[in-house]
Amino acid sequence: MSGLNGAPISVAVVGASGYVGGELVRLLLGHPGVRVVAATAREAAGKAIGEVHPNLAGVDLPLGALTETREAEVLFTALPNGETMHAIESLPDRPIVDVSADFRLRDRAAYSSYYGTEHACFHRVADFGYGLPELFRDRLSAVRHIAAPGCFATATILALVPIVAAGLDDSIVVNAVTGSSGSGAKPKGVAHHPFRADAYLAYEPFRHRHVPEIRQALADATGRDVDLVFQPHSGPFSRGIFVTAAIRLSSARTREEVREIYESFYADEPFVRLCDGSPNVKWVRGTNRCDIGVACDGRTAIVTAAIDNLMKGAASQAIQAFNSRFGFDERTGLDLFAAAV
């Protein structure tokens, strides 16, 4: 496998017709260390990529059938949740970076409980490493495949892990808001943007599927099994995740003390920025960045985090993990800034 010092790595995007698949293609086309040799889709097979994603008009990349990926050295799979685990045995035996939820959870019972179905290929889960580089980059070089984290999970884990690692949390309540693109490209009732554009509502109390993922990652990173209340909301915007974590601390701290914990934890992380006030989904849109704000009053800390759900919550984070896995600087192809307005 080549890296920056050799020939470009040939990659394919499986499931390129959705929002995340389109973002993967867009970003990989600009990556200096890769060559996109295939993109696949089911219903859109036979069309040019620009017919499905007009922002990619003019790109000479036809959408092929699912199995037309044999030239690729690495596969990025962007199929809907529940489909990669059925398709994986028919794909070429190549390293995979999967952005679905199919291979994130190591607890089979938790998967079936939260996703409402039995896992069809659970024996393959052990082949996947959890692709959150800020916490697990040292493990990625040793894994065959990568399971990219979920969007809510990414923002929540990054918001919580410095305090959890310091052992300062007594209780945690997280309120999180997502934009309509998190529901995918196909309209789905109340998840369809015309309904969501001027609506704000809570959903799935206590049972959101990212809860076991958050707890698993925090335990892996800190050695602590952390309980938390997680309440997701649907917001009236298209892209973005905003998390507000209210943390009851084990002892009183000043804002400066809590901020120092975060500054020290993320000192060398190129994609995590600490804000003086609140983050804003507008300031991370189209980027791989996670912006974090910290406030504290005695025994209560309020930590806020913002990411782009299609980027740091999916496509660009998958590429960041790929970069780490295959020896590129993690910023390669991802040094992007949001537009001002």
151 is known as an active-site residue: yes
Q: Is the pLDDT reported for residue 1 higher than 60? A: no
Per-residue confidence (pLDDT) for residue 190, from 0 to 100: 61
**271-311 pLDDT, tens digit each:** 999 999 999 999 999 999 999 999 999 999 999 999 999 99
Q: Is the pLDDT reported for residue 27 higher than 90? A: yes
Question: Where residue 184 falls among pLDDT bands split at 50, 70, 90?
Answer: low
Mean pLDDT of the region 313-341: 95
Between 227 and 183, where is the model more confident? 227
Q: In Å, how far are 34, 142, 193, 209 from 128, measured between CA atoms?
A: 21, 10, 33, 19
Between 212 and 198, where is the model more confident? 212
Say if residue 18 is exposed, middle or buried (CB neighbours under 10 Å; 0-12, 13-18, 19+).
buried
Q: Which domains occur in the chain, in start order? A: 9-146+314-325 (3.40.50.720), 151-307 (3.30.360.10)
List residues bridging with 175 in a β-sheet. 231, 244
Per-residue confidence (pLDDT) for residue 86, from 0 to 100: 95
Q: In Å, how far are 15, 316, 338 from 133, measured between CA atoms?
A: 23, 12, 21
Per-residue confidence (pLDDT) for residue 188, from 0 to 100: 59
Q: Is the pLDDT reported for residue 94 higher than 50? A: yes
**103-159 pLDDT, tens digit each:** 999 999 999 999 999 999 999 999 999 999 999 999 999 999 999 999 999 999 999
Per-residue confidence (pLDDT) for residue 175, from 0 to 100: 98
Q: Is the pLDDT reported for residue 46 higher than 90? A: no
Q: Residues of the chain with pLDDT > 70: what percent?
A: 95
Per-residue confidence (pLDDT) for residue 341, from 0 to 100: 75
Q: Is the pTM of this model over 0.85?
A: yes
Per-residue confidence (pLDDT) for residue 5, from 0 to 100: 54
Per-residue confidence (pLDDT) for residue 4, from 0 to 100: 44
Angle formed at CA 3 by CA 125 and CA 16, multiple of 5 degrees: 55
Mean pLDDT of the region 309-329: 97
Question: Which residue is catalytic, options 121, 151, 275, 290?
Answer: 151
Question: Where residue 182 falls among pLDDT bands split at 50, 70, 90?
Answer: low
Distance, CA of 3 to CA of 21 (rounded, Å): 23
List residues bridging with 294 in a β-sheet. 303
Per-residue confidence (pLDDT) for residue 193, from 0 to 100: 65
Most confident of 2-6, 193-197, 227-231: 227-231
Q: Which two tokens stand for residue 230?
A: 């997680």
Per-residue confidence (pLDDT) for residue 186, from 0 to 100: 61
